[in-house]
Amino acid sequence: MSVMTVYGDSISGNCHKVKFVAERLNLPFRWVETSVLKKETRTPEFLALNPVGQVPFVMLADGRGLAQSNAIMLHLAHGSTLIPDEPYERALMMQWLFWEQYSHETVIAVRRFHRHYLKKADSEIEPSLLPRGEKVLTLMNDHLANRAYFVGELLTLADIALVAYTRFSHQAGFDLKQWPQVRAWVARVEKDLGVESALP
């Protein structure tokens, strides 16, 4: 029997999302480590699989490919409680998924990559990423003031997408002690997912 293959980089929050959902739903998969830093996403072999040259990329058990972390999560989690049944709650989950890719990943993940992996000094990193990151975390903290999860009463894909890089905020230069609701929510989601906490 063939199983799904996940092409992923172990340092990438976007790739962790796929792993978290597959493990949560007991979906068997094979992980093929594919390093962005070693340019393994730019080889002719990988570009033949995914012309966009990004991980995560999955080859489903039936041999058909799929890219984009949030699209992969949505496909794997179809019919599970990770996607709300109620139409408006599902719409809010989608709203957070698009916000995550447009406004969160592009700030927190990018600053983390330059700081923690490319080992740049703060002065060498695009200065706007600092205030933008503070704004992102403040918006999340305010939203979580009276909520355990981003949408409704249960863990959804919105939490999994947002926790993926938020749990590494310290590597991006943000101390989550300044955003206590976010910190408590990260710990809650990590516990739900059964993963070791990344919080310092």
Q: Which stretches of the chain bind its own copies, using CB under 8 A?
A: 51-52, 60, 64, 66-72, 74-75, 78, 87-88, 90-92, 94-95, 97-99, 101-103, 105-106, 139, 142-143
Minimum distance between the CB of residue 180 and its own copies, rounded to whole angstroms?
19
C-alpha count within 13 angstroms, C-beta hemisphere, residue 49: 23
Strands 65-67 and 4-8: unpaired
How far apart are alpha carbons 159 and 173 in whole angstroms?
21
User: Nearest approach, Cβ of 123 to its own copies (angstroms)?
Assistant: 20
Burial of 157 (0-12, 13-18, 19+ CB in 10 A): buried
| Minimum CB distance to its own copies smaller for 72 or for 186 | 72
- Quote the Cα angle for 148-150-154, to 5°: 60
Least distance CB 97 / its own copies (angstroms): 7
**Residue 72 near residue 56, CB atoms below 8 Å:** yes
Instruction: Say how far apart CA 69 and CA 5 lie, in whole Å.
Output: 14
For its own copies, the closer of residues 35 and 68 by Cβ is: 68
Q: Which is nearer to its own copies, 44 or 194 (CB)?
A: 44
Task: Give me the least distance between CB of 95 and its own copies, in Å please.
Answer: 4
Considering beta carbons, is residue 45 or 196 the nearer one to its own copies? 45
